[in-house]
Amino acid sequence: MPLKNCTLCNARALFFHSFRHRDYYKCQKCTAIMMDARHFLSPAEERARYEQHENCVDDPGYQRFVSPITDAIQEQFTPEAKGLDFGAGTGPVITKLLQDAGYSLLLYDPFFWNNPQVLQARYDFIACCEVMEHFQDPLREFRLLRSLLKPGGVLYCMTKIYSEDIDFMKWHYKNDPTHVFFYHQNTLRWIRAHLHFSRLVTSGNLIRFEA
């Protein structure tokens, strides 16, 4: 297999696994795992996949799923803070729950809430739930997210983090063809250092980057 460059840190990435005719490479520096771009879905295919998700904002199970982010935001910020729900998807449950609690959020999603003007402002907090694994150009996306934070702001992410005790070929998280980039703790540390976040905190699937 040909060598690839990591789409985050640009270091060499070596062939790692092939699954359902999709090839994956592992970065030798930041330990990220990335799908070969040849296997990315088209934008239309990607949108159709997301439209299949049954993400009802009133579903208690869905609300519990996002609660690590909504709880963390409410612990760290008051309702006066300005927030962004980045990658809000078809069912912006984080926005709904926080608005119900008196918070003010704007929404952005390239498929469903394509409001470029919201990317001209800066925010006290950004929620990015089950989004970062979809980044086809993670360096560009994290540079954007970093630029949208006010000094002292916080980027809250949720994704499943890869580690060496996971059998990648049995890992259900890679089965979704829209999941194209997987993060290791080393990957998160690289993002913190190179995008000049002051602090990184992880707890389970919850990741907090502080500006």
Instruction: Give per-residue pLDDT as tens, 63-90.
Output: 999 999 999 999 999 999 999 999 999 8
pTM comes to 0.95
Helix spans in the chain (H) = 43-51, 60-76, 93-100, 138-147, 185-194
Q: Are 23 and 153 in contact (CB under 8 A)?
A: no
Query: Does the pLDDT of residue 53 top 90, yes or no?
Result: no
Query: Does the pLDDT of residue 3 top 90, yes or no?
Result: no
Average pLDDT, integer, range 157-184: 97
**pLDDT one-digit tens code per residue, 123-156:** 999 999 999 999 999 999 999 999 999 999 999 9
Give the pair of three-digit tokens for residue 77. 């910020």
The fold adopted by the segment(s) 41-210 is Rossmann fold (3.40.50)
Average pLDDT, integer, range 20-41: 96
**pLDDT one-digit tens code per residue, 185-196:** 999 999 999 999
Helix spans in 54-184 (H) = 60-76, 93-100, 138-147
Distance between CA 31 and CA 152 in Å, rounded? 28
pLDDT of residue 61: 85
Query: Does the pLDDT of residue 51 top 90, yes or no?
Result: no
pLDDT of residue 1: 62
pLDDT of residue 2: 65
pLDDT of residue 54: 67
Round the average pLDDT of the chain to a whole number and report it. 95
pLDDT of residue 168: 97
Pairwise pLDDT comparison (2 vs 156), residue with the higher score: 156
